Structure 1
Amino acid sequence: MVKQEDKTRSPRRETTKVLYLDLDVTDTREGVILARELLAANTDYHVEFIDSLSDEAVEYEKENGGLEITSF
């Protein structure tokens, strides 16, 4: 998911960060809904975009040091 640090900032590529969540859901739509609920309840982030990652994408991120799972 792509986010800004707080809800008062407009999304800008230069300051956008990525957040990874590991959710136990059956489909992408359910995951997007759950992710938005978790973020609204636990952060002040302005979330612009949420998408699921394939198993291959997760492995790539793990191998290249870009994957850090966030827990609430």
Structure 2
Amino acid sequence: MIFKITYQETKIRNPKREETKTLYLDAETEIEARHLVEQNTPFNIEFVQPVDGKHLAYEQKNPDFALTEFNK
């Protein structure tokens, strides 16, 4: 399943909506998706959301859409 993860690039500063970034990840569960991001980045995860169907089709239209891959 594809997950949309919104995050801040650092855990040091307070989160600011204007600085929220997004990455997309293919994982079995939301827990696995969160674990992969926590283990491979210094990001402050705000939200993990599964995307499929029409929502996924909409997200894929964004030119910045790309699946992020981490070594498991």
TM-score (norm 2): 0.79
Q: How many residues align?
A: 66
Q: Which has a greater percent of strand?
A: 2
Structure 2's unaligned 5+ residue stretches are none
Structure 1's unaligned 5+ residue stretches are 26-30
How does 1:29-68 map onto structure 2 within 5 Å? 31-68=29-66
Query: Taking every aligned residue pair, what percent have the same amino acid on both sides?
Result: 39
C-alpha change, 1:48 and 1:64, in structure 2 (3 Å) is closer
C-alpha contact 1:9 1:46 (8 A) present in aligned 2: no
TM-score (norm 1): 0.79
User: Counterpart amino acid of 1:35?
Assistant: A
1:28 — aligned with what? none
Question: 2:46 aligns to what SS in structure 1?
Answer: strand
Structure 1: which 4+ aligned runs deviate by more than 3 Å? none
Question: 2:36 aligns to what SS in structure 1?
Answer: helix
Q: Which has a greater percent of helix?
A: 1
